[in-house]
């Protein structure tokens, strides 16, 4: 296989973030490969686009010569080809011009064309709506030529781009909104990802558990920076609506050195940039309502702003029966906001300013008595993150400088004695640089990247809570007067990180990436070196394999971990192997195997303090199939997982709390004209739990102290459900209208989340998700 490593830039004047590289020639049935190298800084995207070149690039061919020593003239051949857009749709009426004397030809309604020219002839393909592209005559069949729309700010690589790691997946906004059973919500959409523990309620503070570990082991990033939580406490909605998201990238493991502070997986949300045309949108559902606006400001600036408020606080009081002993003194309500401004300073520099914020509060009394403080439950959660970034791109160099700040506040009060109040700012500066070279030191497509960041946090903490429950520990009896853990003071927790990696192709079929990340967690005074690497091998035209290995760390920052300076980070060593297969354009199949060894897991010592004595393993397999074709969008995901751990040396092995053996998601959506119909089938194992075998009564505390069997020795039953979604769009005056109905679990299968016990643990009852959860909404776009 021959390749040409000469970089050119597409002629799209606004395709600023795209560098097209005729770098990896490949003979594929589809003939199109988009490679996204997320090598550094997460904002640095170098897209290498092979557009069906086979052999040296046409523009690099020497002209015919009469020199007798020159090779004989190339044979004239008749070749056929096809012109498509970035989504794989045929482009009709495109002009295909050779660099010889022949007449231009025009593509037919299927985007197909036929030319007769000497082998090696360069072809220029142009169309009014698209940037021109190059191709060459290499045989009877020319690989597909991809045209990018003029004015395209970003290429929607969707399911066609290589994923950041084996087993990773990506959904763009439209796909998020098409996936039935999610209500267009990010948290619920995540449950469709193979490797994500599926349950009808969000899990843990992040709302997502990846590969059977613990929620705190994974990070949720918005525009490259962490957010403290992804969902509202009542678990109804993610803090960022799908309308404000450009894409969701899910990396279950094996991520590169530019990501850190996570021992399991990464969920990366990218906010939506404003469009080139002004539009306003309003949407209301049974849960919340929102407004958004986007458009240009002058020739070089675009904005997107969105705000959303819950409406459930208006509905909830109406549906709670009067007979229930409940006083909603502050009905659950929330606000969300997103802002993004992008400015093109010049051809090399782009500036952006973005913010994400949420404010969520509710207070209730489990009595009608308004002065019964012992029955009070109150939470307030709010954060605001503001990020300014400057991106530089010139030739082989790209760089990003970003400064992000966040203020957050968490207040929770239960009864008269228990409280948790944490407030404080967090500052995160980050710099990344990358150089992409066609060739260096005898290697091809060499990409070097490096970066550094600091995460400097300060929190004022006031807490009086029971001894916190750690992973696997059964729930203790609830004692409203238990304030075993108390702390009042301020905590600094500066963390620093630096990383570098280099990726290169030794051969057109073999690409190796090696990197090293160093984290310094200042509070426990711990330096963590994490080498990572990945080997990509192209096994066939549309079949590639990836093997990754690396070390990962999660700093001690969960719950009260940061109060103990001698608690170190948790370690994981990950091995991943995966294959990716694209049999035809629009269809992608991928499978992966993983093994994760976890050490230094933070557990309780016998005296109630924390230590790093736990260890465990996670292993499993994941399959994912995606279909994008015409009116169809399909999704098939399956994962098998087994996660076990030992909490103390010599202790018994047990399952992780979130070990989910099987999880299957199959979704299909069809869109034609004004209608969009979709269905999604889910089937997944129940989660393990520790059965209570009885209790002993402490008369003075008036508490029944539970007696438990072996940890996580029982499991909730398997659950399956069918979700359906119907969308209907129409035009009403100047507005584009959309109404949708998204219904989960249409055949009412019981979904046991877990079990709860009577006050004396003599009786057990299933805690089930709602049997039927409909979501309906109306959207108007001006």
Residue whose CB is less far from another protein, 135 or 477: 477
Cβ closest to another protein, residue 235 vs residue 474:
235
Gap between the Cα atoms of 437 and 17, Å rounded:
17
CB of 474 to another protein, least distance (A): 18
CB of residue 477 to another protein, shortest distance in Å: 12
Q: How far is CA 507 from CA 23, 25, 112, 533, in A?
A: 12, 12, 32, 17
Q: Residue 331 or residue 549: which is nearer to another protein going by CB?
A: 331
State the nearest-atom distance from the C-beta of 420 to another protein, in Å: 19
Q: State the nearest-atom distance from the C-beta of 200 to another protein, in Å.
A: 7
Token pair listed for 740: 């949708």
| Best CA proximity match to 385, nearest among 414, 416, 431, 353 | 353
Strand segments, DSSP code E, in 441-509 are 443-465, 485-507
Question: Would you say 374 or 736 has its CB closer to another protein?
Answer: 374
Going from the C-alpha of 205 to that of each of 215, 381, 383, 499, 540, the distances in angstroms are 7, 12, 14, 28, 42
Residues that bind another protein (CB under 8 A): 200-201, 234-236, 312, 316, 319-321, 324-326, 328, 332, 364, 366-369, 372-375, 416, 696-700, 702, 753, 756-760, 762-771
Return the beta strands (E) in 320-442 as ranges.
Answer: 327-344, 349-365, 376-394, 397-414, 418-440
Pick between residue 377 and residue 496 the one whose CB is nearest to another protein: 377
Q: Kindly state the smallest distance separating residue 679's Cβ from another protein, in Å.
A: 23
Which of residues 277 and 370 has its CB atom nearest to another protein in the complex?
Answer: 370
Alpha-carbon span 614 to 601, nearest angstrom: 4
Residue number with CB closer to another protein (132 or 374): 374
Task: Outline where DSSP puts E strands in 555-609.
Answer: 570-581, 587-604
- CA separation (Å) from 329 to 232, 409, 675? 18, 20, 42
CB nearer another protein, residue 62 or residue 321: 321
Nearer to another protein, 519 or 742 (CB): 742
Task: Print the SS3 string covering 120-171.
Answer: CCEEEEEECCEEEEEEECCCCECCCEEECECCCCCCCCHHHCCCCCCCCEEE
Return the number of the residue (608 or 771) whose C-beta is nearest another protein: 771
Residue 506 beta carbon to another protein: minimum distance, rounded to whole angstroms: 53
Give Cα separations from 290 to 178, 240, 282, 294, 774 (angstroms).
19, 11, 6, 14, 19
**Taking the complex as a whole, how short is the minimal distance between the CB of residue 470 and another protein, in angstroms?**
23
Report how far apart the first and last C-alpha atoms of the chain are (Å, whole number). Answer: 51
Beta carbon of residue 483, minimum distance to another protein (angstroms, whole number): 14
607-to-406, 476, 484, 611, 614 alpha-carbon distances in Å: 36, 16, 12, 10, 16
What number of residues does the chain have? 782
């Amino acid at each position: 296989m021959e390749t040409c490593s000469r970089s050119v830039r597409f002629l799209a004047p606004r395709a600023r973030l795209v560098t097209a590289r005729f770098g990896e020639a490949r003979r594929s049935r589809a003939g199109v490969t988009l490679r996204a190298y997320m090598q550094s800084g997460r904002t640095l995207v170098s897209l290498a686009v092979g557009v069906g070149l086979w052999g040296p690039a046409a523009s690099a061919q020497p002209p015919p010569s009469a020199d007798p020593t020159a090779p004989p003239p190339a044979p004239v051949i008749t070749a056929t080809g096809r012109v498509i857009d970035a989504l794989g749709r045929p482009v009709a009426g495109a002009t295909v011009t050779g660099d010889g004397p022949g007449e231009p030809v025009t593509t037919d309604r299927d985007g197909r064309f036929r030319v007769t020219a000497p082998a090696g002839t360069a072809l220029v393909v142009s169309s009014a709506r698209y940037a021109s592209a190059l191709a060459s005559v290499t045989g009877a069949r020319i690989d597909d030529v991809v045209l990018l729309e003029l004015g395209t700010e970003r290429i929607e690589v969707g399911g066609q781009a290589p994923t950041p790691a084996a087993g990773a997946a990506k959904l763009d906004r439209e796909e998020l909104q098409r996936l039935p059973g999610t209500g267009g919500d990010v948290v619920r959409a995540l449950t469709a990802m193979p490797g994500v523990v599926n349950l009808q309620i969000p899990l843990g503070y992040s709302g997502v558990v990846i590969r059977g570990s613990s929620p705190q082991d994974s990070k949720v990033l918005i525009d490259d920076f962490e957010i403290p939580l992804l969902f509202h406490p009542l678990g109804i909605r993610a803090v960022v609506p799908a309308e404000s998201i450009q894409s969701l990238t899910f990396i279950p493991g094996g991520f590169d050195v530019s990501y850190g502070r996570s021992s399991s997986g990464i969920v990366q949300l990218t906010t939506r940039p404003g469009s080139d045309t002004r539009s306003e949108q309003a949407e209301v559902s049974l849960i919340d309502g929102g407004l958004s606006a986007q458009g240009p400001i002058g020739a070089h600036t675009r904005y997107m702003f969105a705000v959303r408020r819950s409406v459930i606080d208006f509905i909830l009081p109406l549906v709670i029966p009067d007979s229930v002993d409940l006083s909603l003194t502050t009905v659950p309500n929330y606000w969300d906001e997103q802002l993004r401004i992008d400015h093109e300073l010049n051809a090399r520099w782009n500036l952006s300013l973005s913010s994400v914020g949420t404010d969520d509060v509710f207070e209730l009394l489990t009595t009608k008595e308004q002065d019964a403080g012992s029955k009070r439950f109150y939470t307030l959660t709010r954060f605001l993150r503001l990020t300014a970034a400057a991106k530089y791109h010139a030739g082989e160099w790209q760089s990003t400088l970003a400064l992000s700040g966040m203020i957050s506040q968490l207040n929770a009060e239960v009864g008269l004695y228990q409280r948790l109040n944490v407030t404080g700012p967090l500052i995160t500066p980050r710099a990344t640089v990358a150089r992409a070279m066609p060739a260096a030191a005898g290697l091809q497509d060499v990409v070097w990247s490096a970066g550094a960041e600091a995460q400097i946090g300060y929190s004022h903490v006031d807490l009086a809570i029971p001894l916190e429950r750690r992973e696997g520990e059964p729930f203790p009896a609830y004692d409203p007067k238990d304030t075993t853990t108390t702390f009042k003071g301020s905590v600094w927790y500066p963390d620093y990180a630096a990383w570098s990696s280099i990726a290169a192709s030794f051969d057109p079929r073999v690409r190796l990436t090696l990197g090293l990340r160093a984290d310094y967690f200042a509070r426990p005074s711990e330096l963590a070196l994490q080498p990572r690497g990945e080997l990509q091998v192209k096994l066939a035209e549309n079949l590639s394999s990836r093997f990754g290995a690396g070390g990962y760390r999660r700093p001690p920052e969960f719950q009260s971990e940061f109060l103990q300076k001698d608690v170190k980070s948790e370690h994981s060593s990950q091995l991943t192997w995966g294959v990716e297969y694209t049999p035809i354009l629009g269809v992608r199949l991928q499978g992966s195997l993983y093994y994760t060894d976890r050490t230094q897991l933070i557990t309780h010592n016998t005296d109630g303090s924390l230590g790093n004595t736990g260890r465990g393993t996670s292993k499993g397999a994941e399959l994912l199939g995606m279909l994008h074709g015409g009116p169809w969008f399909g999704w098939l995901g399956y994962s098998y997982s087994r996660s076990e751990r030992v909490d103390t040396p010599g202790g018994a092995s047990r399952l992780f709390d979130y070990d989910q053996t099987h999880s299957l998601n199959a979704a299909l959506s069809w869109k034609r004209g004004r209608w969009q119909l979709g269905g999604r089938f889910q089937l997944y194992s129940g989660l393990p739990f520790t059965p209570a075998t009885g209790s002993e009564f402490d008369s003075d505390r008036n508490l029944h102290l539970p007696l438990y069997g072996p940890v996580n020795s029982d499991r909730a039953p398997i659950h399956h459900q069918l979700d359906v979604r119907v969308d209907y769009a129409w035009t009403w005056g100047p507005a584009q209208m959309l109404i949708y109905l998204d219904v989960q679990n249409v055949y009412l299968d019981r979904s046991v989340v877990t079990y709860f016990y009577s006050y004396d643990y003599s009786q057990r009852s299933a805690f089930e998700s709602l049997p039927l959860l409909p979501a309906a909404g109306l959207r108007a776009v001006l």
